[in-house]
Amino acid sequence: MQESSGTTQGSEGLVGLEEPKKMTREDWRKKKELEEQRKLGNAPAEVDEEGKDINPHIPQYISSVPWYIDPSKRPTLKHQRPQEDNQKQFTGIGDWYKKGVVEKPATTKYRKGACENCGALTHKKKDCLERPRKVGAKFTGMGIASDEHKQVHLLLDYDGKRDRWNGYDPEEHMRIVEEYAKVDLAKRTLKAQKLQEELASGKLVDQAASSRKQWDEDEHGSQEREHNSEDEDEDKYADDIDMPGQNFDSKRRITVRNLRIREDTAKYLRNLDPNSAYYDPKTRAMRENPYSNTGKNPEEVGYAGDNFVRSTGDTVTMAQTQLFAWEAYERGSDVHLQADPTKLELLHQSFKVKKEDFKEEQKESILEKYGGQEHLDAPPRELLLAQTEEYLEYSRHGAVLKGLEKAVARSKYEEDVLINNHTCIWGSYWKDGCWGFKCCFSLVKQSYCTGEGGIKTVNSNCTPFEEDLEKEVEDEQPKTLLEMHQEKMKAKKRNKKNRKRDSDSSDDEDEAKKKKKLMKALTAEEQRLKQVDKLLQVDERRRPYNSLQEVKEPTEEEIEAFRMKRSRPDDPMASFLGQ
């Protein structure tokens, strides 16, 4: 009977886990059509065992039930919901581990099972964190420590594990607030005490009088610094500190992001003509005036380009002052544009005066030494030649109609540039494959103009580069730069000839020495190759070590010998070398 009952139970289990029958092609087609109708809303949705509709748009890998969960194969989504039997009782989000000691008076008598060292009941002797006593609390009954909170294993839920403020005590932050308040109070007290001392000594009155006098003498005037800042020393050079995320020196940052308010008109929408000012989308900059081709005055329009803003008002002066402050700070002067503007302005003015005096002295010394004052006093070339490349077109009332545009550059190279007193440009003369100046026939680009004297020297029969050039000492005249240059070239040629004579005699001796060294290197290379052949014939395990040999850089002769003696398997005649 038992066996028969077992067999029946097994057969029922097999029937319950029996796989579904294979669907026919017609049933499969009907099933797919029904799914499409359900997705379109023309057919009612499937219902699970709890009476809830199943969304037909749920993917099949989510809606299909695994065979080991529900063998009945009825439509359900129960396997996607949390299972009640696997749910644990999590603690609340406000619960946290208790730390420290229990807030109750410590006992004065040793309790059984407590720590033998300190007498606390919450741990044993091996877990005690107090200093080991010479005689423990178990035997003395004195100095029994307080009990700690028992650490309970909390089962925190998802939010409790990820709450960064769980277990935070707001009273800890009050300590920091009180500490900063005490420091602030001490600073105010020191400042008030210092002010009283200055008032008592009369020092503050003198400073006020001197600053008032300086205010009257200054042409432009500068605002007095405000001393109401509590942390003046700390915030004086606050812009020197690098902000988080900046990997550059804040002192040298002079460009900022070119942003605008959203209500303002964008720069590229001010003039839609493609031939107007260029707008750079990467830097959001439009340097030229977008209304230049409309004939409007830049001062009347609302926006006349970035260059107009940069070159108007005190912008240029401010930039020059800031640049001077940076350069002075790098050279050791303790100046700053925002911290001490009056000192910086006075220092900048004195620097400009000294710089102008230095330039004037330098100019005068050069003119005294070389002359040429008449060239500086000449009127400009535009007035002398009465020519200009600027085209202007006027109306009958005298207003400019056309001609404010920039003149198109004829070439990217400089034209008609005369240097070193020449009256012709470089390249106006050609001789023997060399360019020169037509005014003096000089073939040296940086030479000074010699005029007719240079032309006579070039056209004369005598060549200035000959060694046997006769010099008349009696009628000697001041040498020109061309003659001085020719003498230098002669001296260089003589030195080269002397070096050649010395080197020819030493070349023969060097060749003999090199041949001897090469022969020695060849014999040494042959011995090395024989030794390598012997080692290759010996068994691998019996070969000696070469780690104690001296390692040095090979000479040129040894490298040449290695190249001459090495075997080349790709050489077609390599097989005939042994024969």
Give the confidence band of 467 by pLDDT, cuts at 50, 70, 90.
very low
Class of residue 118 by CB neighbours under 10 A (exposed 0-12, middle 13-18, buried 19+) = buried
Its pTM stands at: 0.24
pLDDT tens profile 55-94? 999 998 998 888 887 767 788 888 888 777 666 677 777 7
Contact status, residue 34 vs residue 43, Cβ threshold 8 Å: yes
What's the pLDDT tens digit per position in 438-465? Answer: 888 888 888 888 888 888 888 775 554 4
Higher pLDDT, 517 or 311: 517
Tokens of 546: 């070469």
Residue pLDDT, tens place only, 246-289: 444 555 554 455 566 777 888 888 888 888 888 888 888 888 88
Query: Tens of pLDDT along 7-55?
Result: 444 444 444 455 556 789 999 999 999 999 999 999 999 998 888 899 9
CA distance 454 to 471: 17
Q: To 5 degrees, how large is the angle CA 139–CA 141–CA 147?
A: 115
User: 3-state SS of 49-115?
Assistant: CCCCECCCCCCHHHHCCCCCCCCCCCCCCHHHCCCHHHCCCCECCCCCCCCCECCCCCCCCCCCCCC
Where residue 183 falls among pLDDT bands split at 50, 70, 90? very high
Long-range contacts of 163-168 (CB under 8 A, 24+ apart): 163/93, 166/93, 166/94, 166/96, 167/96, 167/97
- φ and ψ at 378, to 5 degrees? -70, 150
Mean pLDDT confidence for 373-398? 75
pLDDT of residue 9: 43
What is the 8-class DSSP label of residue 242? P
Instruction: Name the residue ranges covered by the structural domains of the chain.
Output: 2-82, 417-469+480-498
Residue 98 pLDDT > 50: yes
- Find, among 456, 382, 389, 449, the residue nearest to 421 by Cα: 449
Q: Residues 283-324: pLDDT tens digits?
A: 888 888 888 877 777 777 878 888 877 777 787 888 889 999
pLDDT for 233 beyond 80 = no
pLDDT at 400 over 60: yes
In the block, residue with structure tokens 């010395």: 502
List strand residue ranges (DSSP E) for 243-398, in order: 393-394
Q: Are 117 and 139 in contact (CB under 8 A)?
A: no
Can you give the pLDDT at residue 386?
A: 63
- Give the span between the Cα atoms of 167 and 99, in whole angstroms: 10
Judged by phi (left if over 0) then psi (alpha if -120 to 50, else beta), residue 295 lies in left
Dihedral angle sign, alpha carbons of residues 313, 317, 323, 329: negative
| C-beta of residue 117 within 8 angstroms of C-beta of residue 140 | no
Residues 115, 73: Cα–Cα separation, whole Å: 62
Residue-level pLDDT at 417 = 80
Helix (H) or strand (E) holding 136: none
pLDDT category of residue 418 using cuts at 50, 70 and 90: confident
